[in-house]
């Protein structure tokens, strides 16, 4: 498989992902075993709260890429980050103080769980007006994305892409969470699955299992679209 994972905390020493180069190596191996060939290295960025450690991030990314190449893992690392939306986000993007996905106008954006639809809609609109295309990270987490019609509005009116975590497909949780996921999928409101991997234990890369689960529930074409085609298309590969 040639999975592309657009949400993956693989860079060590910059957020709550791997803390050492060795931890990052184990994550890269795990991604390789899962059939992942492309990873957007989306370390956390919290504009206005903490300065994004751009120099360390880029240095560690290059080091990890060189190691993956030496090992013949066949993995390409792409720049990126998972941006918590704040009032400072647009300004910091414009100042190139936080990395976009592969240096394009595509960004992965997260919100706080209690953020309502108006907040998310305003954020996506404001980012869109500034020229950025938003991937809404783990859309299963927010109060403001509970309704399918609101997800549809983000996609169709504002051009956002909706990402759901691999773990949510594999273990959707209780009755309401399962019902939400089924509705979202039946209405074609999820664009891509991604692992949001942080380590090789409690939050590991489970792309292969996620793809298999989506095949069982919604068929091969949907699984390929969410795990391979759409994320690759977004990376321009």
**Sites of contact with Fe ion (CB under 5 A):** 82, 196
Nearer to Fe ion, 141 or 155 (CB): 141
Residue 200 DSSP one-character state: S
The CB-of-129 to Fe ion minimum distance in angstroms stands at 25
Nearer to Fe ion, 167 or 211 (CB): 167
Nearer to Fe ion, 86 or 224 (CB): 86
Q: Write out the two tokens for 210.
A: 């996620």
Task: Please give the helix or strand (H or E) that residue 224 lies within, else none.
Answer: helix 220-224
The CB-of-83 to Fe ion minimum distance in angstroms stands at 10
Nearer to Fe ion, 82 or 150 (CB): 82
Q: Write out the two tokens for 7.
A: 């949400």
Nearer to Fe ion, 45 or 189 (CB): 45
The CB-of-235 to Fe ion minimum distance in angstroms stands at 17
Q: Write out the two tokens for 163.
A: 């990402």
Angle at 159 between CA 118 and CA 215, to 5 degrees: 105
Residues in the chain: 237
The CB-of-137 to Fe ion minimum distance in angstroms stands at 6
Burial of 62 (0-12, 13-18, 19+ CB in 10 A): exposed
Tally DSSP H helices, then E strands, for the chain: 10, 9
The CB-of-7 to Fe ion minimum distance in angstroms stands at 5
- What residues contact residue 26 under an 8 Å CB cut-off, 6+ apart? 18, 200
Give residue number: closest CB to Fe ion: 196
The CB-of-135 to Fe ion minimum distance in angstroms stands at 11
Nearer to Fe ion, 64 or 82 (CB): 82
Cα dist from 162 to 97, 138, 147, 176, whole Å = 24, 8, 13, 19
């Amino acid at each position: 498989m040639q999975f592309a994972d657009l949400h993956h905390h693989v860079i060590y020493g910059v957020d709550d992902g791997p803390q050492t180069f060795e931890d990052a190596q184990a994550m890269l191996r795990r991604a390789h075993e899962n059939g992942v060939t492309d990873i957007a290295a989306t370390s956390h960025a919290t504009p206005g709260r903490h300065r994004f450690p751009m120099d360390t991030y880029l240095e560690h990314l290059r080091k990890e890429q060189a190691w993956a190449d030496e090992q013949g893992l066949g993995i390409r690392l792409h720049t990126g980050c998972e941006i918590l939306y704040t009032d400072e986000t647009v300004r910091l993007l414009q100042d190139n103080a936080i990395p976009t996905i592969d240096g394009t106008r595509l960004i992965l954006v997260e919100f706080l769980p209690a953020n309502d639809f108006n907040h998310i809609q305003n954020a996506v609109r404001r980012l869109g007006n500034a020229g950025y295309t938003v991937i809404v990270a783990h859309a299963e987490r927010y109060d403001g994305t509970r309704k399918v019609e609101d997800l549809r509005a983000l996609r169709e009116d504002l051009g956002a892409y909706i990402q759901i975590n691999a773990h949510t497909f594999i273990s959707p949780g209780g009755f309401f969470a399962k019902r939400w996921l089924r509705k979202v999928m039946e209405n074609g409101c999820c664009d891509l699955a991604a692992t949001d991997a942080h380590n090789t234990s409690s939050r590991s890369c489970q792309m292969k299992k996620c793809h298999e689960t989506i095949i069982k529930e919604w068929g091969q074409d949907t699984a390929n679209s969410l795990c391979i085609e759409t994320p690759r298309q977004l990376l321009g590969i």
